[in-house]
Amino acid sequence: MSPIVKWSAFVAMAGFLFGFDTAVISGADKPIQALWGLSDLEHGLFIMSMALWGTVLGAIFGNWPTDRLGRRTTLFVIGVLYLVSAVGSALATDPFWFSFFRLIGGFGVGMSSVAAPAYISEIAPAERRGNLVALYQFNVVFGIFMAYVSNAILGSLLGDDAWRWMVGIEAVPALVYTLALLKVPESPRWLILNRNDTRAAAKVLDQIDPQRDNQAQIEEIQAADREDSKVQSRFFSRRYRLPITLAFLIAFFNQFTGINFVLYYAPRILESAQLGDNAALLSTAGIGLIMVLFTMIGMALIDRFGRRTLMYIGSVGYIISLSIISHAFFTDNLGGALIPLQLCLFVAAHGISQGTVIWVFISEIFPNRERARGQSLGSFTHWFFAAVITLVTPWVLSVFNGGPVFAFFAFMMVLQVVFVAFLMPETKGVALEKMQEKLSPRGEPRS
């Protein structure tokens, strides 16, 4: 295994913990609400969405350690946060402490969605960047799948008492990830731009590609930084208006696919489709497997067909599946395999499009010095709307059936098609330093 693949795989394990942490709560959902006698609003606020509010904070502040301390150090801190969160959540004796430790884990998730894609994009060659950064998203969905499998196994063995084991078992991969980071070097671009340590950067670049003229690459990185520094601009200025708009919109539409609504409440949705508790958990694990498989397909295609093509394919799948599910709820045609099959189509569409593209795309479109802040903006947008959706979902499900909810998400996917068609540029195969020219106010934003 080449060093670049090994380092990318180790760093992408942060995505596994991100996905596991996001989905594991679905198995603990109903037992915890019954145990502590929480109302729907209290349950949504303190149990189901608390980790997501942590991700919002992690996304907001994640750019500071990523820039100041370095990508690698930040990723190590993230591993410690995951470990503390898993153990603390499993041992919690009341909703307050459970929420506190879930908040810590969420903070790690938010920081990881800033630091991990930024790191991988900075060590990857342009022709492989999409595939390697997508390793992070693959690990996210693999973590989701493993959380569903773990929940199904523990739920069948231990019943309502299984929830502590469900949330606590995350400590094992968290420890493995944290130790693996000891083998990962710092990003060469960060070393050049933040420490002016060209010697250390050259050593890393030599390991990545011994055949390449790495001194020329260092000079290219420095030249691009000097060019960017000629225009002193605040982050929220006209100079970065296009990448900021793109990062906001792709993250906004990522959540308004309804993906977190489905992941967090899949067992409840499937139970409303007249499946029992255990069958719902098993069907949820199957849905997770479908997402893993189609994310792998997306990884294989992203550097071949490009980011925009995958977004078009996924949008069609979203619109079809969400519309059919909505119609099934409106007509009370909930029996049989219809809803599970359409949920499989939905997560397949997500895996091959938004799931694969979002973190790759955001990590590509900002200049080197602004990458962490741009990643932070996209991550904040993603997690803010995820938290809002998760917070209101228990109330929404108590007032409406799934019909209006899925119809709303289907309409949002029509708007996503408009975004891809008229605003989203193709970034396939473009070097990071060339991307600054492509997306600058003087450049042509479309390929």
Mean pLDDT of 129-138: 91
Please state, for a pLDDT cut of 90, what percent of the chain lies above it: 52
Give the separation between CA 59 and CA 225, rounded to whole angstroms.
25
**Tokens, residue 276:** 């029992």
Pick from 434, 429, 440: nearest CA to 128: 429
Model pLDDT, residue 77: 96
Chain-centroid distance of CA 158 in Å reads 30
Q: Comparing 1 with 270, which gets the higher pLDDT? A: 1
Q: Would you call 11 exposed, middle or buried from its count of C-beta atoms within 10 A (0-12, 13-18, 19+)?
A: buried
Chain-centroid distance of CA 281 in Å reads 22
**Tokens, residue 142:** 């693999």
**Tokens, residue 168:** 């606590």
- Amino acid (1-letter code) at residue 188: P
Give the separation between CA 302 and CA 166, rounded to whole angstroms.
34
Give the separation between CA 334 and CA 444, rounded to whole angstroms.
49
What are the extents of the domains in the chain? Answer: 3-438
- Amino acid (1-letter code) at residue 201: A
With a cut of 50, say whether residue 436 has pLDDT above it.
yes
Task: State the average pLDDT for the chain.
Answer: 87
With a cut of 60, say whether residue 232 has pLDDT above it.
no
Model pLDDT, residue 291: 85
Q: What is the pLDDT of residues 11-25, one digit of tens each?
A: 999 999 988 988 888
Helix (H, G, I), strand (E, B) or coil at 390: helix
- Taking a C-beta distance cutoff of 8 angstroms, is the pair 150, 30 a contact? no
With a cut of 70, say whether residue 275 has pLDDT above it.
no
Cα dist from 52 to 156, 221, 383, whole Å = 27, 36, 6
Model pLDDT, residue 152: 83
Mean pLDDT of 234-250: 89
Q: What is the pLDDT of residues 402-414, one digit of tens each?
A: 789 899 999 999 9
pTM score: 0.81
CATH number belonging to domain 3-438? 1.20.1250.20
- Taking a C-beta distance cutoff of 8 angstroms, is the pair 418, 431 a contact? no
Confidence grade of residue 268 (pLDDT, cut at 50, 70, 90): low
- Amino acid (1-letter code) at residue 231: V
The tokens 């370095």 sit on which residue? 70
Model pLDDT, residue 25: 83
The tokens 């130790």 sit on which residue? 179
**Tokens, residue 195:** 């420490």
Mean pLDDT of 26-52: 77
Model pLDDT, residue 288: 76
Model pLDDT, residue 368: 84
- Amino acid (1-letter code) at residue 36: W
Model pLDDT, residue 394: 72
Give the separation between CA 372 and CA 114, rounded to whole angstroms.
6
- Taking a C-beta distance cutoff of 8 angstroms, is the pair 85, 105 a contact? yes
Which range among 40-44, 83-87, 222-226 shows the weakest confidence by mean pLDDT? 40-44
Q: What is the pLDDT of residues 64-108, one digit of tens each?
A: 999 999 999 999 999 999 999 999 999 998 888 999 999 999 999
Please state, for a pLDDT cut of 70, what percent of the chain lies above it: 91
Mean pLDDT of 168-177: 96
Model pLDDT, residue 263: 67
- Taking a C-beta distance cutoff of 8 angstroms, is the pair 377, 246 a contact? no
Confidence grade of residue 274 (pLDDT, cut at 50, 70, 90): low
With the C-alpha atoms ordered 44, 46, 51, 52, is the resulting torsion angle positive or negative? Answer: positive
